[in-house]
Every structure is written in C-alpha cells, then in structure tokens.
Structure 1
Amino acid sequence: MSSSSRIPIIDFSGMRSTDTHAPDPVTLARVGREIHDACTQIGFFYLANHGVPQAVIDRAEQAARSFFAFPVDTKRRAAVNMRHRGFNALGDATMYQAKRPDYKEFFSIGLELPEDDPDVLAGQALRGPNNWPDFMPELQPALYGYYDAIGACGADLLRAVACGLGLDPAFFASRYTKRMQRTQMVYYPPQPPMSDEDQFGVAPHTDYGCITLLWQDNVGGLQVREIANDTWIDAPPIPGTFVVNVGDLLARWSNDRFRSTLHRVINTSGRERYSIATFYDPTYDARVDPRELGADHGTLRYEPVAAGDYILGRINDSMAYRKRRA
C-alpha cells in the first residue's frame, strides 16, 4: 500500500511560459490529458521538471530551518494576525472533525499589498502586507522569492488544468489578476513514540482552494486517501518534484469532475520534517461557478461562491487564533 506508483508523475518540460515562448499545442494537450486523468482518479500527482530554480528552493528551505530554530517566544514576535500572516505555534490549527490540534508549527505569507491598496483600504479579508519577523530580516527575500517563483509555476500549471477540462488555456488568468496565493513554511517535530492514534502532524483534510503545490523534504510522512479502494497510501518525497493536489474550490468549479482528496501527515520518523505548501488560489471576488465549466442545472452540485469567501470560511473554522479574537 505504501507505493508512489499509484500517484502519477507528470513531466512539465516545455510548459513554462516566457516572454518569448509559450508551450506548443501538442505538449499542452499531452500535459492537460495527464492532469485530467490524475485529477479525476486520485486528485494528486507529482510535477517533475517544473522549472522553479533549485537555488530558490534551497534558499527557502534554509530560511525555514533557521526560522523554526528560534525559541517559540521569539517566533511569537511575528505571531499570526487577522490577515492570516505570520507564525502559528503548536496547537493553533485544528482540522475539521479532528479530535486534537495538528502537531506542527507554520509561518504564512500572502500577496504583499501596501496599506493604501484599494482592497486593503476597503477592508477585504486576508489582504495587506506580510508580517515579517524583525529578528530574521533574511526571511523576507528568501521566502518571497520562492512565493513569486512558485506562483509563476502555478499560473502555467493552470493553463494545463484548463486544457484538461476542455477550456481555453487562458480561462483562469482573468480570475487570478490579484491572486489569493498563500505560502506556508511548515515544521513538524517528531511525534512522540507513544502518540495517540488520533494525533497527526496534519489531521485528515482537504485543501480549501484550487490547487496546492507542495515542496517536501526527504523525511516523508504525507499520505493520501486513495479513492478507488478507500485506503491510505504514502506520497513519499521524489527529488526534483512538487506534489500537486486539487482543492475544494477546483472540485466545486469542475462540479466534482476533479477530486479534492483527503490527505494527512504523520511524522513517526523520529526526525524533524519541513515542507513549504503553496495554495494557489484566485482573486478574492472570483466567481466559482460550475456552469462556467459545463455543468447544467440538472447536474449542478454547487451554487456559485466567491473564492475568497469560501477560503475565509474554512480558515475561520480551523484556526484557533480566529476563534480567540472573534
């Protein structure tokens, strides 16, 4: 059961856009088909030859290791705020229906917007400047450099997703003009040897948004609920790849043609585990309407929803700091 072979590896060679180059139609169609197959069957795949420079990844990884090595009281100087930016300590996140909080720390950033940005001035939720730590100035260039690089990869990936859904490759671009991308550095301490069976690094959950791109170190611990036979399978690290999965918004948008699949993390390795998760999501007001992707009234499973409203609702449900400050 612990095989990655049931999670496909998709070669993204030739799919990155540049100022002078766009993917050729044959490559785009091939990758679109492979993504369609993966997302309708298991909802997960590995993305190889993704084009994000290894130096950018290495710099972000080292920044994560340095940040989480600080004492908790120091990290709390950049504690998460109501814009969902900053540090979350152990116990700050509890997935829906989980019995215990997740056994992890994480630091979240989003699109950097100044206080005088029109959406910030209007009070749009989750918008504004990031909450960078004053005790680690090198974190900002390292992590935001990764944020920009993985965001560009996400934009190209959505062209192939659109193609796989039978849409114009540019379908998602107009819905991402001011993206709600969130990137998190995550630290998983080793779980105690005698942990209860309901203690997880991250409890079983589905992601909130459209697509997630995950970099993980070589420790392992990510598991996916395989839909076909309803069992957990490992999604072990594969060097040079990201793990990509469908989130709830894309499942809604596709009227459940694409699967938003349960997954979890259990760190029983006895070692520290690090990952960087990016939730590549649309503009706050983007309308997620399954009818745009071909659903008719007879088969419609979901009513239209604003992307940001849905994401905000899920964050409010799972984050302890939002309940404390409500």
Structure 2
Amino acid sequence: MAPSKPNWANDSVTDFVINKGNGVKGLSETGIKTLPEQYIQPLEERTMSKVMVGESIPIIDASNWEDPKVGAAICDAAEKWGFFQIINHGIPQEVLDNVKNATYRFFDSPAEEKNKYSKENSVSNNVRYTTSFIPTVEKALEWKDYLSLFYVSEDEASKLWPSSCKDEVLAYMHNGSIVVKRLLSVLLKGLNVTEIDSEKEQLVTGSKRVNLNFYPVCPNPELTVGVGRHSDVSAFTVLLQDDIGGLYVRVEGKDSWVHVPPVKGSLVINIGDALQIFSNGRYRSIEHRVVANGNSNRISVPLFINPRPEDIIAPLPEVLASTGEKPIYKPILYSDYVRHFYRKSHDGKLTIDFAKA
C-alpha cells in the first residue's frame, strides 16, 4: 500500500521516514525524483575505487559435508576471502522462497502496522523496525529499511514477532540451524579444535538474529548507498539474497571490490569479527557494502550467528596452542563489542580495533 503523498511544507523527510514509519520504501513510493539531502553520501563512501570484473567469491557445493575437500574449500575461503557461497546446502527451496515472500509482505504492510515495531513503540528490544543503520548518529543516511528479530525463545517469537512474517522467519532459522552446525564443525576443525562440546558451540553460536532488509528503488543511486562499508560483528552470517544483486565485497589487501552474483538456491556465508577474534586473525571478516538500485526493489535476509551477549570473546586456547602465536586480541565482553559497533555509523573495519590487545 503506497503512503499518502506528504506535504513537504509541513512534513520533513525525517519525520515522514522515521517518526511516521514510512521508511525509505514509503519515500520511494511517493515518486520523488531527487534524492533528499540527508541521503547524499560523501564521495569516498558512495564510490568504489576499482571493481574487478569477472572475479567473485568461491562457490562451494556442500552436498557432501563429510567430504574433506568441502571442509578444506570452506576453511580456505574463510582465510583468503572471508566470504563464500554454498549450494546444495540442504535447506529446501520452498523455505527460502517463503521467507523472501514474507519479507515483501511485512514491508508492504501499512506504515502504522510497521511502526508498531519501531524503537519508540515496540514492546521488546528484541523486535525492531527501523531505517538506515543508526539514524541518530549518522551524518548521511543509508537507503534501506529493515526489521531486526533477535531470537530468545519460540514463545517470545510467537507472541511478539509480526504475524506477517514470523512463521516463515522461524522456518528459515530452524532449517538454517543444520547448516550452522555443519559450518561450525568445519570451521573449528580448521582451527585445530577437535572437540566441539556444547560449551564451545554456545560460545561461538549461542545467539541468533534475523534481519529482513528492504532496499527500495532509489531516484539517484549513484549518490547514496544501500549499506555502507562494514564487517559484521557476528561469528558468521548466513545471507539469503534475491535475484537482483548489489552486494560487493572488498578484496583483502587490495583497494578493489567484487560483486557477489545471485545464485538461485545459494546462501552467502561471511566470517564476522567474533570469529576473526576467536581464530586470532586466521579467518577474516571482510568489508562489504550494498549499492542502491535505480530500477528495482531488492531484499535480503541475513541470519547472524553470534556469541551470547554475556560471553567473553578472545582467541581460542586451541588456536594459540597449535600455532604458538601470541593473542592479537584481548578478552572482551561480547555485548560491549556489539555496543561499540552500534554507537557509530558504518566505518569499514574500525570496530575490530576495539578488541586489539
């Protein structure tokens, strides 16, 4: 449902987008022809110095998780790229299609309905509808709306998550848990962690958050970004893309970027800061960004796999023992690390410096 056209003499862009819950989707649907000043990014943030044509992140066939070649390919990609795609991962295509449809269904609901989940109105900090990244601290806003759902329990999700999408999101998350366990096993074995007990599993993957991201058509996509340069604070992220494209990954050690092409049925996996810390820098979280699109709406559904807020993250003892390395990172409370990330606008990889020894 398109919002009623605002009277810009009485309604500021910020009030229309944020306070009234229309988001940039609602702004886009008013038919604006010029990007509002609030969304114009500095030149260095909206341009990529070099885009490498014909290169992309590895695509790994995960149909046989027990095959040592699969594990070796995943660990190699985690070290060299920090990003890879997996196909034949075991999540039914119907589950993926359903959660994408549910994402559109939520964002197509009236602004009044979506705004029930804004920071000011939501009954829980675990359910949050917002726009951009952190509008209160950003000098320039990003062209994106999103719904963030932190999983605590089935009971809370059933009671508090939006009815338009909760069943589909839960199905995606629960089906994804099998992939998460397999990835955890492969990645930790690559770090010489041979015994993965429940304590170790909880330390690395003890909490989960799903975001539903909506990137509307933008009148001047060359002037803004869908998401600015950043690395995730997760242990790792399982991302479902649609078929539009627009995700770019920085090539480690080079001032250049590669596009992550949509592959039907695939999942994009990227290493987060927490796993970089656990691995003492062996696995790399990598800067990535999303460009704005002038022709099509785009959605994505990331499943963030994180330590629990109360966990202390630091290089794993098994990693240090096997390599004889000194720890690059100090022990830090995970909730403190995440809080630091959310105190500022996207700034590439600078958050990791907060944890350096």
- The two structures have a TM-score, normalised by structure 1, of 0.79
- What is aligned with 1:67? 106
Aligned AA for 1:237? P
140-149 or 282-291: bigger deviation: 282-291
Deviation of 1:104 after TM superposition, in Å, equals: 0.7
Match of 2:270 in 1: 245
Distance 1:255 1:194 in 2: 38
Deviations 1:197-236 (A, max 9, x none): xx21100001011000100001111000011432011111
Do 1:95 and 1:205's aligned partners in 2 also have CA atoms closer than 8 Å?
no
Q: Secondary structure at the match of 1:51?
A: coil
Deviation at 1:161, TM superposition (A): 0.8
Gap change, CA 1:41 and 1:82, over 3 Å in 2: farther
CA contact (8 A) 2:238 2:267 kept: yes
1:313 maps to a residue whose letter is H
Q: Structure 1 7/72 Cα, relative in aligned 2: closer, same or farther at 3 Å?
A: same
Q: Which residue pairs with 1:9 in the alignment?
A: 59
Contact 2:127 2:150 (C-alpha < 8 Å) held by counterparts: no
Classify the secondary structure of the residue corresponding to 2:214.
Answer: strand
Between the aligned partners of 1:276 and 1:42, the Cα distance in structure 2 is 21
In the alignment, residue 110 of structure 1 is paired with which amino acid? Answer: F
Distance in 2 between the 1:281 and 1:304 partners?
16
2:161 to 123, 126, 132: 132
Equivalent AA in structure 2 for residue 163 of structure 1: K
Answer with 1 or 2: which has the greater Rg.
2
Deviation (angstroms), 1:182: 0.5
Which of 10, 32, 41 pairs up with 2:80? Answer: 41
Structure 1: runs of 5 or more not aligned: 16-22, 116-126, 320-326
- 2:234 counterpart of 1:209: yes
Instruction: Tell me the SS of whatever aligns to 1:223.
Output: strand
59-68 or 225-234: bigger deviation: 225-234
CA 1:172/1:235 → structure 2, altered by over 3 Å: closer, same or farther?
Answer: farther
Amino acid at match of 2:218: Q
Q: Which AA in structure 2 matches 1:214?
A: L
CA deviation after TM superposition for structure 1 residue 291, in Å = 4.2
**Alpha-carbon distance in 1 for matches of 2:193, 2:245:** 35
Report the AA paired with residue 168 of structure 1: T
What is the DSSP-based 3-state SS (H/G/I as helix, E as strand, rest coil) of the residue aligned with 2:74? helix
Distance in 1 (CA, whole Å) between partners of 2:147 and 2:125 is 9
C-alpha change, 1:244 and 1:168, in structure 2 (3 Å) is: same
Cα distance, 1:282–1:91 mapped onto 2, change above 3 Å = closer
Partner of 2:295: 270
8 Å Cα contact 1:159/1:171 also seen in 2: no
**Does the aligned pair in 1 maintain the 2:250–2:258 contact within 8 Å?**
yes
Per the alignment, do residues 283 and 298 of structure 1 end up closer, same or farther by CA in structure 2, a change over 3 Å counting?
Answer: same
**Residue 184 of structure 2 is aligned with which of 158, 173, 185?**
158
In 1, distance between residues paired with 2:81 and 2:265? Answer: 21
Question: Percent of counterpart pairs with the same letter?
Answer: 28
CA contact (8 A) 1:225 1:232 kept: yes
8 Å CA contact retained: 2:52, 2:256: no
2:341 corresponds to:
314
Distance 1:45 1:130 in 2: 35
Distance, in Å, in 1 between the alignment partners of 2:107 and 2:238 is: 21
Of the candidates 105, 109, 117, which is equivalent to residue 149 of structure 2?
109
RMSD over aligned Cα atoms? 2.9
Q: Give the letter aligned to residue 151 of structure 2.
A: L
For residue 295 of structure 1, give the secondary structure of its aligned residue in structure 2.
helix
Name which of 278, 281, 298 aligns with 1:256.
281
Pairing 1:226–2:265 present: no
Number of aligned residue pairs: 291
Equivalent residue in structure 2 for 1:88, among 129, 134, 149:
129
Tell me how far apart the structure 1 counterparts of residues 221 and 170 of structure 2 sit (CA, whole Å): 38
Q: Is the 8 A contact 1:95 1:318 kept in 2?
A: no
Following the alignment from structure 2 to structure 1, what is the Cα–Cα distance between the partners of residues 332 and 266? 32
Q: Is the 8 A contact 1:175 1:282 kept in 2?
A: no
Contact 1:10 / 1:47 at 8 angstroms: preserved in 2?
A: yes
SS of 2:250's equivalent in the other structure is strand
In 1: Cα distance, 2:221 partner to 2:145 partner: 20
CA distance in 2, matches of 1:203, 1:318: 8
Superposed displacement of residue 155, structure 1: 1.6
Cα drift, residue 243 of structure 1 = 0.7
Distance in 2 (alpha carbons) for counterparts of 1:313 and 1:241: 32
CA deviations on 1:59-81 (whole Å, 9 max, x unpaired) are 11111111101232321012245
Q: Distance in 2 between matches of 1:91 and 1:215?
A: 19
- Given that 2:221 and 2:291 are in contact with CA atoms closer than 8 Å, whether structure 1 keeps it comes out as no
**How far apart are the structure 2 equivalents of 1:157 and 1:224?**
20
CA offsets, 1:18-49, max 9 Å, x none? xxxxx4xxx1x322211221111111100111
Is the Cα–Cα contact under 8 Å of residues 43 and 261 in structure 1 kept in the other structure?
A: yes
| Amino acid paired to 1:151 | S
